[in-house]
Amino acid sequence: MIACKKNSADFSYSPTEPRAGQSVLFTNLSSSGEEWSWSFGDGATSTVKSPSHIYKNPGTYRVTLKVDNKSSLTATQEITVYDTVPTFVCADSVFVIYQDYTFTANVYNPYNYSLEYEWFVADAPAGNSSSLTCYFTQPDDSVEVRLNITLNGETTQVSKRFFIADKATNSLLLRAPDGDYRQRIFGERAEEAKLSEYATPYLDAEQDTAQTYNGKAFLLSELEATFPGIQGFHIANRKIYYRADGLWVANIDGANKVQIDAAACSAMTLDYTDSRIYWANENGVWYLPFIGSDNNKFVTEPVQLNTMNNINKLAADNK
């Protein structure tokens, strides 16, 4: 019997933590081959069996070796090239409000010297690890992100400024005794509520005493027998959300009534774009995803959106 060794492509490189401007040797470890095609991930290529290459800029590059121009004989590795001067990088180049961004320190430290980090965002301390994840709340403004890197007792300060753009999104409109407010919603986050004349016509039109669902008209007066004490309602997905002694959800025929919040509910609305119910009580405004179970049991806890008091009308604006 004769055993055949399967051909394979492979390579190594040194040094394993190269710096920008330093020559990197790529050693071909392939089991066979007569032709070699290298791609170094920065646009440069080579046909030398074991080439050297110099990266001009720090970053992570994807290096590929193809042997004898066969896709089956291909090896790929990522190589991180460090800056000779400590710095930090972010994978994103465009920044908008209320979205997470991660900044990562890039420090050449092959001898494992002591290393400390101090992050600052707009002069406020923000963290002490090798990376920082944060979001920004002020649109149409530039924000400074600063990192103090102390390597073997020597501190280097790196500072960069980023322009933060605004972002179109859904809004929750609120009516309080001192005026109408608009609060924009960004996923699980929301900006601070601001007085807005823009909200007034939407709130004037908003009501929860009559509604048409699937071509049928529903009136508050007609629902009182099925839902005693009902003060207002909205309908979605064959479920009725209504204000009575607190906030409730039930099937549209009145079955499976479940209390969502025992506190007195002064206003409510449904956001059909984000599939959420918003309501106001004495502690502020809250929300939950639409109830999806047959028995109307909700599986997530209410989330507090704000602490505004005396809200008497809500409306979701998805335009």
d(CA 128, CA 135): 17
Contacts 24+ apart (CB under 8 A), 69-72: 69/35, 69/37
pLDDT for 1 equals: 46
Select from 85, 93, 118, 88 the least CA-distant residue to 106: 88
Number of Cβ atoms within 10 Å of the Cβ of 84: 11
Confidence of residue 305 (pLDDT cuts 50, 70, 90): very high
Q: What is the pLDDT of residues 101-130, one digit of tens each?
A: 999 998 888 778 899 999 999 999 999 999
Percent pLDDT > 90 in the chain is 78
CA pair distance 89, 130, nearest whole angstrom: 11
Cβ contact 256:296 at 8 Å: yes
Q: What is residue 85's predicted lDDT score, i.e. its pLDDT? A: 81
Q: Is the pLDDT of residue 3 over 50?
A: no
The pTM for the full model equals: 0.71
**What is the mean predicted confidence (pLDDT) over 161-189?**
95
The mean pLDDT value for 241-256 works out to 95
Q: For tokens 């401007």, what's the residue?
A: 21
Give the model confidence (pLDDT) of 39-70 as tens digits.
999 999 999 999 999 998 888 999 999 999 89
Residue 288: pLDDT over 50: yes
User: Which pLDDT score is estimated for 65?
Assistant: 97
pLDDT class for 142, splitting at 50, 70, 90? very high
**Residue 99 pLDDT > 90:** yes
Domains of the chain: residue spans and CATH:
11-81 (2.60.40.10), 87-165 (2.60.40.10), 171-317 (no CATH)
Query: Strands (DSSP E) along 40-128, which ranges?
Result: 45-46, 52-54, 59-67, 74-81, 87-90, 95-96, 101-106, 115-121, 124-127
pLDDT recorded at residue 5 = 53
Among 1-15, 92-106, 146-160, where is mean pLDDT lowest?
A: 1-15
How high is the mean pLDDT of the chain?
A: 92
Q: List the structure tokens of 123.
A: 């002069």
Rounded to whole angstroms, the Cα distance separating 242 from 226 reads: 12
- One DSSP character per residue, 42-66 reads SS-EE-SSS-EEE-SS-EEEEEEEE
Q: 3-state class of 112 per DSSP?
A: coil
pLDDT score for 319: 63
Q: Quick check: 20 pLDDT over 50?
A: yes
Rounded alpha-carbon distances, angstroms, from residue 292 to 147, 238, 252, 262: 46, 10, 13, 20
